[in-house]
Amino acid sequence: MKPLFTIHAGEYLVGAHIEHTYPDWNVWLLSKDTGVDFLVTDGKNRKAVSLQVKFSKDFNPTHDHHDYLLAAGWWTHDLKKIQKSEADFWVFVLTSFWEKEKTSFIILPPAELARRLKAIHGDHTKRIHSYLRVTKSERCWEARGLGNAEMQLIADDQFSDKDRDSLGDIVLDGSPLSGDAKMGLLSSRSAGGRVRRFGLGADQPQASTAAAPAPELAPQAGMRQELPDEGRWFPDIVTDEAGKAVVTLALPAKTTEWRLTARGCTPETLVGEARSKTLTRKDFFADLKAPAAVQEGDALRVLARVHNLTDAAGPAQLHLSITGTGHEELTLAGRDATVEVKAKSGAEKAFDAIEVPALAKLHLSLSATAGALSDGLGLDIPAQPYGLEYAAHGGGVATADAGLVLELPKGQKYTSQWLITSIGPSLRQSVIELALSDVPAGVEALEKAPRISPDWGATIGSELLAKVSGLAYARRAGTSEADSQRLLEGARSLAGSLVALQRDDGGWSWEGRTSESDWAASARAFWALVEARDLGIQVHTDAVARAQSFLQSRYQSFGATDNDAKALVLHALSVNKAADFANCNRLHRERNSMGNVALAYLASAFLNLERPDFAKELLDLLETKGEAGPEPAGRLAS
């Protein structure tokens, strides 16, 4: 016996409606998920039907013919799941646009549902989007793919399509229901409305004209997930003859303003653009203020805010839960607080700080409840380990048994250790496969386990650099055309994404566009874009120029002794022949005090500037320091 799970709003509406309308029937809730949500039996528990319930939340009617619609919903179906369903009937629940107490139930056997979906949309795709539209005349239609002309016929009650009409004969006890019981739409009304039969054989109640009040949902704090950035793109919308098209999309559960941009082009290449804005919000909602990223050892203090747009006032109970993902799931803190919330106002609470341990990610969950009002919000924060990354590596080619010993430098405290082993038919192919994957070979198997992930591919710039380096190697080594083409396509896609993520100041951040530009991430991104451009990949010249200007500006802000940062930025600029030789020469004079990584970057910069004599001197120094043993990690060790 497994613990009972929480029912969703649609299940509540169906169960409550049956219990209220047919009190002699019994509604059973299963103790585990079997693909059946309810079991409904007669009063003697001799006959039963099983129900699978699908709920669609109501949304503002934005359709051209919305005045005749009672309700509408959007679902994504998996045909295989429908065909394998164990339920006798699927029930689709839609709440009304205009009257919140009115609910529509569309009921179909899964076999009939699958048949109709395939007849309308075909069976060439695994997933099918379905748009159900319920009219005020109590007809229900599958409307996806219909144009304005057909929608107008539906509005006039003149449209006819057997497969799209969801009001079919429903078999409940082995034979179709007749008369009033011919139904696919079971409508509950608050007053004066006829309620159609939901039959269970001989014990079924008769059709009634009694009032059937809609049940009131108990308040629940549905947990929303905070999304730092979200966007949707619909590239293939075709308008009707009047130049109109309707696009239905589900907005994320995020309280914010959304910008809608439409761009169109006619066959005669006439183009146009329009923009609009819309808001998604709740009358009572919670908000979290926390840093975009944290580091091991940080003292994290979270600010919770409650926004109340109603006339209600009084105390609000807050609960903050902080968990972490590393080698295992950890519960870090639980905080409770009470704040006074005024009408049409808000309140906030700063919770006590916690120290961030060695984890890969923190998850914050905030719930807020004030009487019948409630909300919940989840937020994920990436966490970086404190200190620097050490790595030891080895490899080669073997034709028989072979052994390899790897050892990290002694005398260091390591908070996370990983061993990655990659085996391939040849060193050449291993390099290509490594470049073709988003992470080093072997890491994919570890993705399912909670862990502190290695810092490979931490940014799109790093991923692009891997792709273009692999592409350059593939062209030199003469590998297969298929591998080169895959690398080229991957590099093009990443280059486009990188340009799109560029911030207004010309730089890049570690966290998309949500935090300030970082010089190290920007140097890596600039390096990757220039390499991609030099391999023939289209890169917008303005993006390169703005990034170069950003790096040159940031270089001027570095401290006199920040030689590691200077070496990295100079190397990036040198890839585009934009590094100032005078700056490189000044850094060369400080070579004896520089770390190994900084020496390597500076040597590479001199090579890019075609000064091999300076580069050789630095490489000789680097070799000498390597023979003396590992140095204490510098800032750029990675």
CB–CB of 52/36 below 8 Å?
Answer: yes
pLDDT band, residue 57 (cuts 50/70/90): low
pLDDT band, residue 513 (cuts 50/70/90): low
Q: Which amino acid is at 300?
A: L
Q: Is 571 within the bounds of a domain?
A: yes
pLDDT band, residue 523 (cuts 50/70/90): very high
Q: Is 69 within the bounds of a domain?
A: yes
Cα separation, 14 vs 33, whole angstroms: 17
DSSP 176: B
CB–CB of 602/596 below 8 Å?
Answer: no
Same domain, 224 and 178: no
> Which pLDDT value is given to residue 16?
85
Same domain, 433 and 371: no
The boundaries of the domain holding residue 294 are 219-229+253-386
> Which pLDDT value is given to residue 257?
83
Cα separation, 314 vs 303, whole angstroms: 20
Q: Which pair of structure tokens corresponds to residue 15?
A: 């169960």
Q: How many domains does the chain have?
A: 3
Average pLDDT taken over every residue of the chain: 77
Please compute the mean of the pLDDT values over residues 148-153 and round it to a whole number. Answer: 76
**What is the enclosing helix (H) or strand (E) of 56?**
strand 48-56
Please compute the mean of the pLDDT values over residues 174-188 and round it to a whole number. Answer: 30
Cα separation, 389 vs 568, whole angstroms: 17
| Residue of higher predicted confidence among 18 and 350 | 350
> Which pLDDT value is given to residue 348?
94
Cα separation, 257 vs 346, whole angstroms: 19
Q: Is 419 within the bounds of a domain?
A: no
CB–CB of 302/351 below 8 Å?
Answer: yes
Same domain, 183 and 39: yes
CB–CB of 127/78 below 8 Å?
Answer: yes
> Which pLDDT value is given to residue 629?
52
CB–CB of 601/568 below 8 Å?
Answer: yes
Q: What is the pTM of this model?
A: 0.44
Q: Is 201 within the bounds of a domain?
A: no
Q: Any idea what the CATH number is for the domain that residue 453 is in?
A: 1.50.10.20
Q: Is 236 within the bounds of a domain?
A: no
Cα separation, 152 vs 157, whole angstroms: 9
Q: Is 313 within the bounds of a domain?
A: yes
> Which pLDDT value is given to residue 579?
93
pLDDT, one tens digit per residue, over 237-282 is 999 988 889 988 887 777 788 888 999 888 888 888 999 988 887 8
Among positive and negative, which fits the CA dihedral 532, 534, 539, 544?
positive
Q: Looking at 36-45, 199-208, 434-443, 479-488, which range is the least confident one? A: 199-208
Same domain, 474 and 621: yes
Same domain, 323 and 441: no
Cα separation, 284 vs 292, whole angstroms: 24
Same domain, 477 and 544: yes
Please compute the mean of the pLDDT values over residues 563-568 and round it to a whole number. Answer: 92
Domain boundary among 326, 361, 386: 386
E strands, 356-488, in order: 361-370, 373-384
Domain boundary among 329, 362, 386: 386
> Which pLDDT value is given to residue 66?
55
Cα separation, 189 vs 202, whole angstroms: 26
Kindly tell me if the per-residue pLDDT of 183 is higher than 50.
no
Kindly tell me if the per-residue pLDDT of 127 is higher than 50.
yes
Cα separation, 312 vs 372, whole angstroms: 10
Same domain, 225 and 153: no
* Percent helix, strand and coil across the chain, each to the nearest 5: 30, 25, 45
Q: Is 184 within the bounds of a domain?
A: yes
Q: Looking at 43-57, 198-212, 239-253, 569-583, which range is the least confident one? A: 198-212
> Which pLDDT value is given to residue 573?
95
Please compute the mean of the pLDDT values over residues 129-144 and round it to a whole number. Answer: 80
DSSP-based three-state secondary structure for 285 = strand
Same domain, 357 and 477: no
pLDDT, one tens digit per residue, over 604-630 is 999 999 999 999 999 999 888 875 555
pLDDT, one tens digit per residue, over 348-407 is 999 999 999 888 889 999 999 998 899 999 999 988 877 777 777 777 778 888 888 888
Same domain, 21 and 130: yes
CB–CB of 61/94 below 8 Å?
Answer: no
| Residue of higher predicted confidence among 515 and 53 | 53
Please compute the mean of the pLDDT values over residues 406-424 and round it to a whole number. Answer: 76
Q: Which pair of structure tokens corresponds to residue 573?
A: 């600029």
Cα separation, 466 vs 491, whole angstroms: 9
Q: Any idea what the CATH number is for the domain that residue 367 is in?
A: 2.60.40.10
**What is the enclosing helix (H) or strand (E) of 614?**
helix 612-627
Q: Which pair of structure tokens corresponds to residue 482?
A: 């298929």
Same domain, 540 and 499: yes
Same domain, 465 and 375: no
Q: Which pair of structure tokens corresponds to residue 280?
A: 């998604």
CB–CB of 519/527 below 8 Å?
Answer: no
Same domain, 173 and 35: yes
Q: Looking at 6-15, 341-350, 373-382, which range is the least confident one? A: 6-15
